Chains A and B, each alone.
Chain A
Amino acid sequence: MATSHVDSPPALSTQMIAGAALQQWWALLQAEIRSAWRGRETPVTMVVFSLLIVLIFSFAFDLHPNPPGDVLSGVLWTAIIFGGMLGFQRAFPVAGDRGELEGLLVSPVNRSALLFAKVGINVILMCAMELIVLPIGALLFNAPLWKPLILASFFVGTLGFSTLGTLFSALSAEARARELLLPLLLLPISVPLIIASVEEVSQSLVAQPPALSHPWLQLACAYTGLFFFITLAVADNVFDR
Chain B
Amino acid sequence: MQSAVHLKSAHSSSLAYIVGGLLTLMSAVGILLTLILGLLVTPKDAVEGNVFRIFYVHVGTAWNAYAAFFVLFVASVLYLWRGRPVWDRVARIAAEIGLLFTTIVLITGSIWGRPVWGVWWTWDARLTTTLVLWFMDLAYLLLRAYTADEGRAPRYAAIVGIITFIDVPIVQFSVSWWRTLHPQADVLAPGHLAPSMLIALLVSVFAFTILGVALFVQRLRLETVRDDLRELRQRAEELE
The answer to whether residues A171 and B135 also contact, given A177-B146, A215-B177 and a CB cut-off of 8 A, is: no
B-contact bits for A216-227, CB 8 A (1 contact / 0 none): 000100010010
Q: Is A1 an interface residue (CB 8 A)?
A: no
The answer to whether residues A181 and B146 also contact, given A188-B132, A230-B163, A234-B159 and a CB cut-off of 8 A, is: yes
Give complex CA distance A215, B174 in Å: 10
Give complex CA distance A58, B159 in Å: 39
Closest chain A residue to B131, Cβ basis: A188
**For residue B132, which residues in chain A have a CB less than 8 angstroms away from its CB?**
188, 191
Q: Is the CB of B138 within 8 A of A174?
A: no
- Distance to closest chain B CB from A218 (angstroms): 11
**For residue B164, which residues in chain A have a CB less than 8 angstroms away from its CB?**
189
Q: Is B156 an interface residue (CB 8 A)?
A: yes
Closest chain B residue to A185, Cβ basis: B139
Q: Is the CB of A199 within 8 A of B178?
A: yes
Q: Is the CB of A237 within 8 A of B80?
A: yes
Q: Is the CB of B156 within 8 A of A171?
A: yes
A-contact bits for B140-162, CB 8 A (1 contact / 0 none): 10110011100111011001100
Of B139, B151, B178, the contact of A241 (CB 8 Å cutoff):
B151
**For residue A177, which residues in chain B have a CB less than 8 angstroms away from its CB?**
146
Q: Is the CB of A184 within 8 A of B139?
A: yes
> What bracket does the count of chain B residues touching chain A fall in?
20 to 34
**For residue B178, which residues in chain A have a CB less than 8 angstroms away from its CB?**
195, 199
Q: Is the CB of A172 within 8 A of B163?
A: no
- The secondary-structure label for the interface of chain B is helix
Q: Is A196 an interface residue (CB 8 A)?
A: yes
Q: Is the CB of B171 within 8 A of A181?
A: no
Give complex CA distance A185, B141 in Å: 10
Give complex CA distance A223, B153 in Å: 26
Of B136, B159, B177, the contact of A188 (CB 8 Å cutoff):
B136
Q: Is the CB of A175 within 8 A of B147?
A: yes
**For residue A181, which residues in chain B have a CB less than 8 angstroms away from its CB?**
139, 142-143, 146
**For residue A223, which residues in chain B have a CB less than 8 angstroms away from its CB?**
170
| Selected A-B contacts with CB under 8 Å, 10 pairs | A170-B156, A181-B139, A185-B160, A188-B139, A189-B167, A191-B132, A191-B171, A192-B174, A195-B175, A240-B152
